[in-house]
Amino acid sequence: MKELLSALVKFWIVPPQQWHPWIIHFPIALLVLELGFTVLFWVNRKPQYAAWSKNLLTMTLVTMLLAMLAGVHDSGLDLGSGNHFLLGLQDRLKSAFIFHSSVTVHTWLALVLFSVTAARSIWRKWQAENALKMPQAYAYGVLSFINLWLLLAAGHAGSVANHR
């Protein structure tokens, strides 16, 4: 218990150099909650569940973007002096097609995950609650579960890159 408390105190006194591991849990939790509220809407048809789902999807997209930016920053930490974000961006661009790297696989899966999440968010803003009603609900549901699979795949590739 002492180690846990000291880690929490240290986080607020001396912020971590790497932000991605701290931020990434927000979009994961928000996306899972959003899917839960979407399913609740399909089961109960209460409009407040659809509203929660839409708001959580928007928050997921924002926190996902922050996590991706933090990941680019963190990948530049060990690349020398200078702007860590620009160094990380250069590294990711240089290594973009080296697929034997788990970081590259994680990056591509995260980009596809962000794209699918953005497409679902645009769909929800464009169609409002109709995106969750038949016949669109089938296509939206398939896209939602593809989104969940991408979340799991990107998370797995990220954990492989981080926990060797």
Write out pLDDT tens, residues 67-81. 999 988 888 777 888
Asked if pLDDT for residue 20 goes beyond 90, the answer is: no
The lowest-confidence range among 7-21, 44-58, 114-128 is 7-21
Query: According to the model, what pLDDT value does residue 160 have?
Result: 81
Confirm whether 13 is domain-assigned: no
Confirm whether 100 is domain-assigned: yes
Closest CA to 121 of 67, 113, 107: 113
Residues 6 or more apart whose CB falls under 8 angstroms from that of 153 comprise 109
Owning domain of residue 128 = 20-162
Q: Phi and psi (nearest 5°) for 17? A: -75, -35
Confirm whether 50 is domain-assigned: yes
Confirm whether 46 is domain-assigned: yes
CA angle 84, 17, 59 (to 5 degrees): 85
Q: Give dist(CA 38, CA 99) in Å, integer.
A: 34
Q: Give dist(CA 149, CA 143) in Å, integer.
A: 10
Instruction: Tally the residues of the chain.
Output: 164
Confirm whether 81 is domain-assigned: yes
Torsion of the alpha carbons at 103, 153, 21 and 64, rounded to the nearest 10: 100
Confidence label for 6 from pLDDT (cuts 50, 70 and 90): confident
Query: According to the model, what pLDDT value does residue 147 have?
Result: 93
Q: How many structural domains compose the chain?
A: 1
Confirm whether 5 is domain-assigned: no
Confirm whether 14 is domain-assigned: no
